[in-house]
Amino acid sequence: MALVKKEQLLSTLDKIVSTPILVVGDLILDRYVWGRVDRISPEAPVPVVEVLKTEDRLGGAGNVVRNLATIGAKPTVVGLIGNDEDGLGLLQLFKEIGADTAGIVVDTGRPTTVKTRVIAHSQQIVRIDREKKGGDSPEACKRMCAALEARIEKNRAVILSDYGKGAVSQSVLDFLHAASTDHRLGLSGRPLFVDPHGTNYSNYRSMSVAKPNRKEAETATGKSISSVQDAFDAADILMKRWNSEMMVVTLGEDGMIVKQAGEEKGVHLETMAQEVFDVSGAGDTVTALFTAALAVGSSPTTAGVLANIAAGIVVSEVGTVAVDIERLRAHVSRWGEA
């Protein structure tokens, strides 16, 4: 028997349309250099890539924003960019999808984070990163917290997308903790969904939902996860450590588990992927869909199934992509069929 009826999933998608959701975190410009390889360089044993096209996409927290926009939600962004052309490029990409960018802070002391991936014949050959981790100015952190304060009440949910690049400072974490303590954030009202990163494992506290992947959960708990029960055990540990109301642990080809504090049993959802070409960005898709579903009052199981279906779609594509609402509806309509 299906855990959720497809009518519930489709109804949830309808409710998500125009739902305002706030995303705070590390903004990254994903640059893709697409080409082909016909020979090896005479200078070194490396392939020579003939460039066919270059494409810029929203990465990091920006990919969460893009996923929210493509499923019809109304995303608002708070984060940091540098005073450079790549920062302007990010702003343009956000504006093209209709995201509210007034909360984005320009930090003159850092470059915009850029990840350049060189891809030939559907395979990534090399990745080149330009970034400055941490060390953000107190003024930039102060402005980010002010941007959050001005926007938190206007949104139905808040997503903290931590990629360890420095935007998720102690000041930001303290602000969100205070908002949770004041009951402005919480699972029963305005959920705070945290996509964690190792740089802040010791700093997280008071959140509605946390979503580590298998490796992150292993690192955070110091315990190996080789079974679904291991994942549930890790979830229990992290819920207590981070004072989280719910834990979602993504397990790659083994799907994901959803466990709520105080409940004896959780839910294991098997993967929906038919073919896996590229897992980059799948976690952001889960974050966006799960949060949006919770924001409109769906159950954790409904949110998990919807997020799992969406993730199964994006891993079948090359590069960081966002799930298209019509394609998602089509997959949901077929969900549960033999």
Record the tokens describing residue 1, joined without a space: 């028997």
Is the dihedral angle over the CA atoms 133, 138, 142, 147 positive or is it negative?
negative
Alpha carbon of residue 171 to chain centroid? 21
Strand partners, 56: 31
Question: From the candidates 84, 129, 284, 324, which is the catalytic residue?
Answer: 284
For residues 248 and 257, give the distance between their C-alpha atoms in angstroms, rounded to a whole number: 6
Answer whether 194's CB lies under 8 Å from 64's CB: no
- Residue-wise DSSP of 108-156: TTSPPEEEEEEEETTEEEEEEEE---S---HHHHHHHHHHHHHHGGG-S
* Cα–chain center distance at 7: 26
Partners of 193 in the beta sheet?
A: 159, 209
**DSSP states along 40-94:** E-SSSSSEEEEEEEEEEEEEEHHHHHHHHHHTT-EEEEEEEE-SSHHHHHHHHHH
CA distances to 91, 299, 316, 333, 334 from 337, in Å: 42, 22, 20, 9, 6
Q: Would you tell me how many other CB atoms lie within 10 Å of the CB of residue 255?
A: 20
Active site (annotated) includes residue 162: no
Sign of CA dihedral 114, 138, 74, 9: positive
Are residues 306 and 71 in contact, defined by beta-carbon separation less than 8 angstroms? no
Count of alpha carbons within 13 angstroms of residue 271, beta-carbon side = 20
For residue 9, the SS3 value is helix
Which residues are known catalytic residues?
284
